[in-house]
Amino acid sequence: MTNPLQRIGKVALEASRGLGHNATFFVDVLRNLPAALRRPYLVIAQVHAIGNLSLLIIMASGLAVGFVLALQSYYALVTYGASESLGLLVNLSLVRELGPVVTALLFAGRAGTSLTAEIGLMKAGEQLAAMEMMAIDPKSRVLAPRFIGGILAMPVLAVLFSAVGIMGAYVVAVKLIGVDAGNFWSIMQNGVDVWRDVGNGILKSIVFGVICTFVAVYQGYEAQATPEGVAHATTRTVVISSLSVLAMDFVLTALMFTHH
Amino acid sequence: MGKKGIESLVGFFVLLGIAGLLFLALKAANLGSFTASSDTYSLTAKFDNIGGLKVRAPVRSAGVTVGRVASITLDPKTFQGVVRLDMQRSVQFPSDSSARILTSGLLGDQYVGLEAGAEEKALVAGDVIKQTQSAVVLESLISQFLFNKAADAGSAVPTPAPASGGKK
């Protein structure tokens, strides 16, 4: 294996094999979605585990981000005499970019790792193999409900992040700094378009939900059935989800927000 | 926690999401001011140049928003811009009102300004606003300014002295 050309070839082949395996796994999970929808309680339980239990960190982070955005934007805008546009700046930053992206990163860290660890430990404890012995496809009973749960929970969390952020920015801007409340809301309302800004943000969060949940579920299912394997898979989930979300964010922003 | 407990929590979660979405759409974006199609009537105005006017720009009279731009198309026969306006039903304008395309502030967004005329008859749905004034195009202004400047300079300079070769 000292031949560098051989090594490059090996890495490239491994990468494309991994990509292909990801793709076939994705199609497999999609194929099992109808079966999962026929057991709505499984999906609901997953929305609770993924969404409800992430509410605290998402809303707390949203509030903090809103506070900080308001402060920083104020000091940036006041040099140009544009401090009345504070609300607009904070709203657009949150709804277009920070809401979907930061929520996705937090989601990958909190819900993604819990999904991967749960599925990895099921594999390590041979529960998945036991299900296969009973002719139950683990993809339909275990993976698909979690996949749907993640896709349903993500947009809700992103919207809540943005909404709480805006409210936090209002508190800092109007109550603490002293920006005019009427101007804060009216300049914001004039400048933010529901379909182009809020709608595109929600679309982004749905795409990020698919990415994060799929990566979490895949890494859990393909984890090595040992404690180290599960730990390794958990870190891989966070790293791969985060990088994919950031790359996808650039692509989606270029598609959605460049003026035609 | 039992089955019922989890289901109600998830229901609360979804309700929270809908509340957040409504907050974003109504309070933080422009959905709230969007007039429903039932209480508007549409007028048309033709402009030689609409400048940077966009769909959903406001229509203002005396500075008060009384409608929105619904659509902007090109008339293939007269090559004028045809702007359809959705006006609030509560406001009627005389039939000789004029429409101009103005800019809010120095470099802001453009909007349609309506100035009421003096006629008794009012514009009804589907009417065309006859008197219009196009948007100001910056390049035409500058070239006009330069042309005027050059004309002034040409008339101010006295006729030059005859060439010294003419002297004997």
What does the pLDDT profile of chain A (260 residues) look like in tens digits? 578 899 999 999 999 999 999 999 999 999 999 988 898 999 999 999 999 999 999 999 999 999 999 999 999 998 888 888 899 999 999 999 999 999 999 999 999 999 999 999 999 999 999 999 999 989 999 999 999 999 999 999 999 999 999 999 999 999 999 888 888 888 888 788 888 899 999 999 999 999 999 999 999 999 998 999 999 999 999 999 999 999 999 999 999 987 64
Q: For residue B161, what is the DSSP state?
A: P
| Among the partner residues B10, B21, B28, nearest to A189 by beta-carbon distance | B28
Residues in chain A: 260
**Range B11-43 burial, b when 16+ CB lie within 10 A, else e:** eebbebbeebbebbbebbbbbeeeeeeeebbeb
Task: Looking at the complex, report in whole angstroms how far the Cα of residue A251 sits from the nearest Cα belonging to chain B.
Answer: 24
Average pLDDT over residues B32-42: 66
CA distance A100 to A255: 16
Q: Which of B3, B16, B33 is nearest residue A160 as measured by Cβ atoms?
A: B16
Q: Provide, as residue numbers in chain A, all residues whose Cβ is less than 8 Å from the Cβ of B63.
A: none
Contact call for residues A113 and A238 (beta carbons, < 8 A): yes
Beta carbons of B29 and A160 less than 8 Å apart: no
Separation of alpha carbons A120 and A224, rounded Å: 8
A155 vs B contacts (CB less than 8 Å): 17
Say which of B10, B29, B56 has its CB closest to residue A189. B29
In this prediction, residue A27 carries a pLDDT of 94
Q: What are the backbone dihedrals phi and psi of residue A11, each rounded to the nearest 5 degrees, phi first?
A: -60, -45
Nearest CA-CA distance, residue B67 and chain A, Å: 14
Amino acid A198 reads V
Using CB atoms, pick whichever of B13, B19, B31 lies closest to residue A194.
B31
Please give the residue of chain A at the shortest CA–CA distance from B23.
A163
* B142, containing H or E segment: helix B138-156
- Radius of gyration over alpha carbons of chain A, in Å? 22
pLDDT exceeds 60 at position B36: no
* Least Cα separation, residue B21 to chain A (angstroms): 6
On chain B, the residues whose CB falls within 8 A of the CB of A156 are: 13-14, 16-17, 20
Query: Which pLDDT value is given to residue A146?
Result: 95
Q: Is 0.90 exceeded by the ipTM?
A: no
Contacts of A133-137 spanning 24+ positions with Cβ under 8 A: A137/A32, A137/A35
Q: Where are the alpha helices (DSSP H) in chain A?
A: 4-31, 33-37, 40-50, 55-77, 86-92, 99-107, 113-124, 127-133, 138, 144-170, 181-191, 200-221, 227-257
What global pTM score does this model have? 0.76
CA dihedral angle for residue B122, residue B125, residue B126, residue B127, rounded to 10 degrees:
10
Distance (Å) from the alpha carbon of B93 to chain A's nearest alpha carbon: 25
Residue with tokens 């140009």: A80
State the pLDDT confidence band at B31, using cuts at 50, 70 and 90: low
| Residues A191, A197: Cα–Cα separation, whole Å | 10
What whole-number distance in Å separates Cα of residue A164 and Cα of residue A172? 12
Nearest to A84 by CA among A19, A18, A144, A174: A174
Contact: A189, B14; criterion CB under 8 Å: no
* Nearest in space to B12 (alpha carbons), one of A51, A100, A148: A51
pLDDT in tens, B69-108: 888 999 999 999 899 998 888 888 888 899 999 887 766 6
Please list, in sequence order, all residues whose beta carbon lies within 8 angstroms of the beta carbon of residue A34, skipping any fewer than 6 positions away: none
A73-99 burial by CB neighbour count: b if 16+ within 10 A, else e? bbeebeeeeebebbbbbbbbbbbbbbb
C-alpha closest to that of A54 among B15, B10, B4: B10
